[in-house]
Structure 1
Amino acid sequence: MALIDPFNRKIEYLRVSVTDKCNYRCGYCMPEQGAHPEGRHTEYLDFDELSRIIKAFVELGVTKVRITGGEPLVRKGLSDFVSSISPLDGLKEIALSTNGHFLDKHAVALKEAGVTRANISIDSLKPELFNKITRGGDLKKVLAGVDAALEAGLNPIKFNMVVMKGTNDGEIERMVDYGLEKGVEVRFIETMPIGEAGISLMDQHYPMDAIMKRIKAHVGTDLIPSTGKSHDGPSKNFIIKGTDTRIGVISAVSQHFCESCNRVRLTARGVLALCLGQEDSVDLRTPIREGISDEGLKQMIVDAMLKKPERHFFNENVHNIEFRQMVSLGG
């Protein structure tokens, strides 16, 4: 058995949300009141259930797992969970997506457990604006997390900046310079109409062409298209000549990249989401808790791939994804 979708794309990358809770409330990701505030703890897959599903995916050919949230570091025992899956034969990479707030405390343990790289969300380098965008975030804590991650060897580090017109688009150049200072990759991400929160901010959508125009004006001829394979697939990548800093732009809305999609997402509540921008999904929690065999679970996953759509339709079918929340899907 192998994970091949109807469009002959090989699925090798699983994003695993371990929680939809977060200590931040970024406007494009989560409603101000949080996600599923009435949710019960038992609705979440426990770490043994998550490990079992990941093992099935790895045996079916998945080589990369990214741990996401919400904010994954608000869930206790994350390093031990990573240690439980890192020995899986065939799993080549465990990555982490985080807002960085707790990273200074956990970077060393995560590295020792098997996390090889981290993406850190930073939407502003201005403390007051950062606090406003995140509805309470502490930029000082995040920058301390960046330094701790680099010191621990969680490398390469990537900074993720969601660019919002009229909010933080004036910091594109400053973020490039911060990436140069730290020697890390900076990725600029278009806002996406995922859930009520994301849809409400689409009037601040800032397209890839406008982002690249700013970056090229700032860097000039030193910006060179990168021909190397990106670790995360969808971004269009460039390297700043004479440095270790790469620049990426994720243009999910203005220039979609669905033809090369190699990923699916597992939510903390056991829903296998087959596309970030479509409602296609499969419940894995119920069969897991009803005693499905390992072979039955793998067959169920293989069959689920047949439901993976060819592409999203962010501009045409926003209503299809309004009920979802980015914080629950793990980006």
Structure 2
Amino acid sequence: MTATEEVTQTGLADRYGRVATDLRVSLTDRCNLRCSYCMPEEGLDWLAKPELLTDDEVVRLVSIAVTHLGVREIRFTGGEPLLRRGLVDIVTRTTALSLRPEVSLTTNGIGLARQAQALKDAGLGRVNVSLDTIRPDTFVQLARRDRLKDVLAGLEAAQAAGLTPVKVNAVLMRGVNELQAGELLEYCLDRSYELRFIEQMPLDAQHGWSRDTMVTADEILEQLVDQFGLVPADASTRGSAPAESFLVHGGPQTVGIIASVTRPFCGDCDRVRLTADGQVRDCLFARTESDLRTALRGGADDDELADRWRRAQAKKLPGHGINDPSFLQPTRPMSAIGG
């Protein structure tokens, strides 16, 4: 039996036949924006430094996920991961693993212009950058910070460094940027960025999300379908990807829509999350977590940590339950979970 076959057979399976091979690792809950759909203008109480996993602890848990549990993709997230001082070293050590995973980064792009080449040299494959508008005034309204130029510079630097395909994630907010889908798509198409619109999800710290004010996937498509000649891409190529893909003017360029609320894709989910303070979350919307940090700091060996992780993932529910009347938002907001 090969090493790859062994880890696959003892991977992160749940009771519904899904196997997690995509790990999202939050490196910090801190962020330098205050996006209205994520957190209040005054910010949040950040995790204290002793609560955070150290760089060595992050790399050890990532290594266990890859070598013991069959994880093949690592996405570093935040908060804002570029705020993590040890980010480049963490990426370097992750890409040096014997069963090298695909490694990517989700970021707001601020500071990416300075770090893009170093991250590429460290082995980072690509980036996902959050960008909800290309209008400076709307950016300030949404993010409560005047940093649009920095985000756009980060995108350009990522492209120049070869962190491709550069993907852009956008959330449309009713009454703010809901009618800007077309101009954002034009901007991305002109620069060969891959744009994906994401339905606003109930993950804000204020718990102010409302289905009535959410811009739906159907509304986004209605704005774009005629102007860009959108037709669905081959659904058989989607796999476990969260985005429905649409060809622009017959292709090859595409635009994606992640309809987490109106068209859930939980049955094909292959993701698991590790928070910055060492908690396993089997779903973005989970209301329970499994603590690896305490066991890790208590002297548990790799096999024990892997076993704890397996048991945590086995409890995953069949779906996120957003459309169930009994649904409750998770206690942690998106900034403290990781995307």
TM score, norm. by length of structure 2? 0.92
Runs of 4+ residues deviating >6 angstroms: none
1:294 aligns with 2:287: no
Task: Give 1:6's aligned amino acid.
Answer: R
Alignment correspondent of 1:7: 16
| From 242, 258, 261, the counterpart of 1:253 | 261
**Aligned pairs, how many?**
329
Alignment correspondent of 1:181: 190
1:16 deviation in Å?
0.3
1:257 deviation in Å?
0.5
> For 1:110 and 1:318, how far apart are their aligned partners in 2?
43
Q: 1:243 to 1:184 in 2, by over 3 A?
A: farther
Alignment correspondent of 2:152: 143
Alignment correspondent of 1:54: 62
> For 1:184 and 1:329, how far apart are their aligned partners in 2?
26
Unaligned runs of 5+ in 2: 1-9
1:29 aligns with 2:38: yes
Q: 1:227 to 1:322 in 2, by over 3 A?
A: closer
Decide whether the 8 Å contact of 2:185 with 2:195 is kept in 1.
Answer: yes
Q: 1:111 to 1:146 in 2, by over 3 A?
A: same
> For 1:201 and 1:139, how far apart are their aligned partners in 2?
27
Alignment correspondent of 2:88: 79
Work out the percentage of aligned pairs sharing the same amino acid.
Answer: 38
- Match runs of 1:9-158 below 5 Å: 9-37=18-46, 39-59=47-67, 60-158=69-167
> For 1:198 and 1:208, how far apart are their aligned partners in 2?
21
Q: Deviations over 1:196-254 (max 9, x none)?
A: 3353465430111111111102112x544244745971110122246553210000111
Q: Deviations over 1:133-186 (max 9, x none)?
A: 011141111111111000000000111101112111111001110111011211
Q: 1:23 to 1:318 in 2, by over 3 A?
A: farther
> For 1:314 and 1:286, how far apart are their aligned partners in 2?
31
> For 1:317 and 1:75, how far apart are their aligned partners in 2?
38
Task: Give 2:306's aligned amino acid.
Answer: K
Alignment correspondent of 2:314: 306
> For 1:329 and 1:72, how far apart are their aligned partners in 2?
12
Decide whether the 8 Å contact of 2:285 with 2:330 is kept in 1.
Answer: no
Decide whether the 8 Å contact of 1:192 with 1:199 is kept in 2.
Answer: no
Decide whether the 8 Å contact of 2:281 with 2:290 is kept in 1.
Answer: yes
> For 2:116 and 2:327, how far apart are their aligned partners in 1?
39
Task: Give 1:239's aligned amino acid.
Answer: L
> For 2:274 and 2:27, how far apart are their aligned partners in 1?
9
1:91 deviation in Å?
3.2
Q: 1:181 to 1:237 in 2, by over 3 A?
A: same
Decide whether the 8 Å contact of 1:119 with 1:159 is kept in 2.
Answer: yes
Q: 1:129 to 1:27 in 2, by over 3 A?
A: same
Task: Give 2:292's aligned amino acid.
Answer: L
